[in-house]
Amino acid sequence: MTDASGLAGFAALLADRTRAAMCLALLDGRAWTAGELAAHAGVARSTATGHLDRLIGGGLLTEARQGRHRYVRLADPGVAALLEDITARLEPGLPPARGLRAATADAALRRGRTCYDHLAGRLGVAVTDALTSTGRLDQSSGFALTDEGLTWLTDQLGVAPDQLRASRRPLARACLDWTERRPHLGGLAGARMCETFLTREWLTRIGSGRAVRLTPAGRTALHTLLNLTDLD
């Protein structure tokens, strides 16, 4: 019963629309201020503070203070994976968008976005499939990078080998994509790959949210590295 009570209490943290909206916003991997999250969720700052205190106390968020500002972010990649996994199991998926702006934003998220610190959406799934078809990722029993995949990351993308070792986080993890309903690559490998794409400006963020798009240089790079062409 203790485990059942603990699980019910943990689930209650997300059983509120405002808290859920805040957590989903933080899936972009960045730290937000309490005021920014209040505006995003459409609540007063004092109301947001109470919700954030619950989420921090429950271990879903962590906070840091800098001057007058209080910054919060997801506690760790495991929380991001949990949120994405739960969202992927919702039916019937995203509700119909209302208005042109909302429809455009939804379409951008579906095409490509960050899931905490790795790549998701159609683009993320396409890259994952390409890594698999070229023998760099093994999906036969969970997700595992092959030796060729490790070499690709270090030699082709320039990821330092120690950046793929110094962590308790899995090197490769299947993360169920909530729009594609298929797995994309998470874990350390997914994070380093996405970081490299952004650093090299193969990807650029759309506005201040999670949506990303390929640049012309990115299209060329993915065609050269993974033979990917149909990326619209």
- Please determine, for residue 98, whether its predicted confidence score (pLDDT) is greater than 70: no
Beta-sheet pairing, 203-205 with 183-186: unpaired
Predicted local confidence at residue 198, as pLDDT: 95
Would the CA dihedral through 193, 184, 187, 75 be positive or negative?
Answer: positive
SS3 assignment, position 62: strand
pLDDT tens string 14-68: 999 999 999 988 988 888 998 999 999 999 999 999 999 999 999 999 998 877 7
Kindly report, residue by residue over 160-195, the tens digit of the pLDDT: 998 888 677 889 999 888 888 889 999 999 999 999
Q: Are 105 and 196 in contact (CB under 8 A)?
A: no
Neighbouring C-alpha atoms within 13 Å toward the C-beta of 177: 25
Give the integer Cα–Cα distance in Å for 54 and 49: 9
What domains are there in the chain, each with its CATH number? Answer: 2-75 (1.10.10.10), 98-226 (no CATH)
Sequence-distant (6+) residues with CB within 8 A of 231 are: 123, 126, 214, 219, 222
Please state whether the predicted TM-score (pTM) of the whole model is above 0.85: no
Tokens representing 160 are 């330092």
Which one has a higher pLDDT value, 161 or 100? 161
